[in-house]
Amino acid sequence: MHRVISSGPAQGLFAVERLLLNFLGRLSGIATLTRKYVELTAGTKARIFDTRKTTPGWRRLEKYAVRCGGGWNHRSGLFEAVLIKDNHLAWGANSHRESPRYTPAEAVLLARRYVAEHAAKTDPPR
């Protein structure tokens, strides 16, 4: 068990006490709920993942709480993976194409080319 010991002026400690308790309570709740889902799926091939949708300013902490509960992090931001949805396939279609939309294979190929071309331009030098 972990505990926190702090000292200082009582007025200052009492001023932040409720804030810290709410803060820890929220993160503990995320970890506890994640643990319950992990236990419910134990013995299966399922893994419990979080979502990218988090409380503004809390992303790293909430994702850490999921890991503490035994869950997995999906991704931290849009920059970590390419997600191609149906509306992307339809949007990418050009008027000169025979098909009114890209096939999933075409979209993946185009996304790989795009990432390869742009990664070289945006990655810091090593």
Question: Choosing from 36, 45, 53, 85, which is the catalytic residue?
Answer: 53
Q: Is 53 a catalytic residue?
A: yes
The CA distance from 50 to 9, in Å, is: 39
| C-alpha span between 39 and 85 (Å, rounded) | 31
Q: Tokens 């945006």 label which residue?
A: 122
Phi first, then psi: what are they for 82, rounded to 5°?
-105, 130
Catalytic (active-site) positions = 53
